[in-house]
Structure 1
Amino acid sequence: MLLNPQWLRTFATLAEEGSFTRSADRLGLTQAAVSQHVRQLELELGPLLIRSPRRIEFTPAGLALLEHCREAEYAERRLRQRLAAPDDTPGEVSLITPGSIGLCLYPLLLDLQQRWPGLSVRHRFAPDSEVLREVLENRYELGVLALRPDDARLSVTHFAEEPLELVVPAGRRADHWEDLIQLGFIDHPDGQAMATRLLSRRFPGAPGVRQLPCHGFSNQIGLILEPVARELGFTVIPRFARQAFARQNELQVIEDNAQVVDNLWLIHRTEWPLSRRARRVADFLSESMVNWPHRVGP
């Protein structure tokens, strides 16, 4: 049941003034209009007033309605203050990304939080399809995608480049297809697709990734390199995921001129320009990604 806001203002004013005449003068209404507003409320809620020649008393229902009027006024005042507040004040910024770039960005976000008291970061790892859906449905303000979306509802900006890497245990070689057969493949949810894209360039004419012995699988981005470090196999993984692994000395990246480099795209809804708070976070991350090769070696 929705109550007319004008009726509620009239009722609250009547409680403050204690008189139909004074309430009408204050509201710029006729006394008959004030009485009509109260009657409409009583048709909805039952008796609200006890009228006497000298004063007005409120029934229990009338007192409950007065409390509702105060709560509604307070809520409206808070809403107006929130809308009038500058949007670069501390608060929450939400970001959703694929796992590899997320491993790179999350420490940077924590760095920014330490420097900007009051900032709250809500970060989620998700595949591209989920990133796209969550940003379109306004559940996250910012997203990063590995595939550039073609959707007029999205503002899309180039964010970073991320090469795919062939990673083997430290000290091992992968100069020939037979070396990969001997090592065995450590798979992950995108492993077959990534390995096919990179290895088809490195080893043209080879039988294909599905012909390699599989020595393991993990769907946790932070654990894919653990079996590689333990010399149980090799994998193909994005650079940012490899750089996030703690024991770099136990890994070796096999370099080659035949590279596969993915572009990453920063997205947000076009209809709602980024708040200054979110823009500050986005600019900080973009600048950090430009300098990222200088922070962590290839």
Structure 2
Amino acid sequence: MLHPHWLETFVALAETGSFTRAADKRSLTQAAVSQHVRQLEQALGPLLIRRPRGIELTPAGHALLGYCAEMEQAGHRLQCWLSDTEPTRGELTLITPGSIGLALYPLLLDLQAAHPGLRVRHRFGPDSEVLESVLSRSAELGLMTYRPEDARLAASAFVEEPLELVLPRGAVADCWEDLVALGFIDHPDGQAMATRLLSRHFPGNPGVGGLPQHGYVNQIGLILEPVARGLGFTVLPRYARQAFAQAEAVRATECAVPVMDTLWFVHRAEWSLTARAEHAMAYLRERMPGALAAGL
């Protein structure tokens, strides 16, 4: 096992380039610095070349220095996880689907701007990635479009989001033939979303697979670009349309029987949430239009 004191001495030696200066920095004797380096080299092989005007790290020495940096970062992350008593300091990790993420991210930036000690790490991902990230604890909080059945996860309803049939401004979709004339702009969830919504909007329709496809986009913020240019229609969750920069160039049609998805906050059930995560959840519930009451 590599003793932490040996590693701290090696980092000081690499940073100062001198046994004398490393000894001063660590409040040790030069003999102690040499002994620490010798213990490391017995375990790992030659770590440095001693020259008249200083030292030079070997490849193994550079590798060990990188390892020390990773250990320091891991220790910092551990402190962030453990320092959960301050709701507005430390790192908040969150992963969400793209549509709701577009709506939440500006709110999270507002929260961070109000509390400089808070660091927000927000990733976009599909439900499968949200599930994996929360289970592996690479993200403390996630949002999913369904309530997971995994007993390791706790879930609470956050907000409802309808699917929308989105057309170019001025286009009509009174019948299936209108959609055929427009063409479909597909995306990673496009076929599934369109099937769910259009089966209610146009009962008995021939199926989404028979629509001419006029484009495919896998970036949530860009899916409506071709729609805005009149190149076709698509089906998306409402928050994606509301976040679109050219919202005036598209329009959503009303569906007599809407398709509504409930979005769920999820986290590991075995461990208490940090104060940061609790605060962020309450903050988002207060500021997100239509958010559901906690505990549902």
Q: TM-score, normalised by structure 1?
A: 0.72
Q: 1:86 Cα deviation (Å)?
A: 3.1
Alignment correspondent of 1:228: 227
Aligned CA distance change for structure 1 residues 291 and 64 (closer, same or farther; 3 Å): farther
Q: 1:280 Cα deviation (Å)?
A: 0.5
Superposed, 1:1-298 pairs within 5 Å as: 1=1, 60-61=31-32, 64=35, 86-291=85-290
Structure 1: how far apart are the matches of 2:30 and 2:164?
76
Structure 2: how far apart are the matches of 1:89 and 1:219?
34
Aligned CA distance change for structure 1 residues 194 and 90 (closer, same or farther; 3 Å): same
Aligned CA distance change for structure 1 residues 83 and 218 (closer, same or farther; 3 Å): closer
Structure 2: how far apart are the matches of 1:220 and 1:81?
32
Q: 1:288 Cα deviation (Å)?
A: 1.8
Matched to 1:60, the amino acid is A
Cα deviation 1:11-68 (Å, max 9, x = unaligned): xxxxxxxxxxxxxxxxxxxxxxxxxxxxxxxxxxxxxxxxxxxxxxx89258745xx9
Cα deviation 1:247-269 (Å, max 9, x = unaligned): 11111111121210001000111
Matched to 1:121, the amino acid is V
Structure 2: how far apart are the matches of 1:241 and 1:280?
25
Q: 1:104 Cα deviation (Å)?
A: 0.6
Say which SS state the counterpart of residue 256 (structure 2) adopts.
Answer: coil
Matched to 2:97, the amino acid is P
Q: 1:205 Cα deviation (Å)?
A: 1.1
Structure 1, 136-145 or 85-94: larger mean CA deviation = 85-94
Whether the aligned pair in 1 keeps the contact of 2:84 and 2:274 (CA below 8 Å) is no
Structure 1: how far apart are the matches of 2:257 and 2:107?
30
What is the alpha-carbon root mean square deviation over aligned residues?
A: 3.0
Structure 1: how far apart are the matches of 2:218 and 2:235?
14
Structure 1: how far apart are the matches of 2:258 and 2:290?
21
Q: 1:291 Cα deviation (Å)?
A: 4.9
Q: 1:274 Cα deviation (Å)?
A: 0.9
Q: 1:85 Cα deviation (Å)?
A: 7.6
Structure 1: how far apart are the matches of 2:84 and 2:204?
62
Aligned CA distance change for structure 1 residues 80 and 227 (closer, same or farther; 3 Å): closer
Q: 5+ residue gaps in structure 2?
A: 6-28, 40-71, 292-296
Structure 2: how far apart are the matches of 1:122 and 1:102?
12
Aligned CA distance change for structure 1 residues 282 and 85 (closer, same or farther; 3 Å): closer
Structure 1, 112-121 or 86-95: larger mean CA deviation = 86-95
Alignment correspondent of 1:22: none
Structure 2: how far apart are the matches of 1:62 and 1:237?
63
Q: TM-score, normalised by structure 2?
A: 0.72
Say which SS state the counterpart of residue 263 (structure 2) adopts.
Answer: strand
Q: 1:90 Cα deviation (Å)?
A: 1.1
Whether the aligned pair in 1 keeps the contact of 2:80 and 2:90 (CA below 8 Å) is no
Matched to 2:210, the amino acid is Q
Q: 5+ residue gaps in structure 1?
A: 6-57, 69-74, 293-298
Aligned CA distance change for structure 1 residues 170 and 273 (closer, same or farther; 3 Å): same
Aligned CA distance change for structure 1 residues 59 and 176 (closer, same or farther; 3 Å): closer
Matched to 1:180, the amino acid is L
Structure 1: how far apart are the matches of 2:144 and 2:214?
29
Whether the aligned pair in 1 keeps the contact of 2:85 and 2:274 (CA below 8 Å) is no
Q: 1:277 Cα deviation (Å)?
A: 1.4
Matched to 2:257, the amino acid is A
Matched pairs, number = 234
Aligned CA distance change for structure 1 residues 81 and 212 (closer, same or farther; 3 Å): closer
Structure 1, 191-200 or 243-252: larger mean CA deviation = 243-252
Whether the aligned pair in 1 keeps the contact of 2:96 and 2:124 (CA below 8 Å) is yes
Say which SS state the counterpart of residue 209 (structure 2) adopts.
Answer: helix
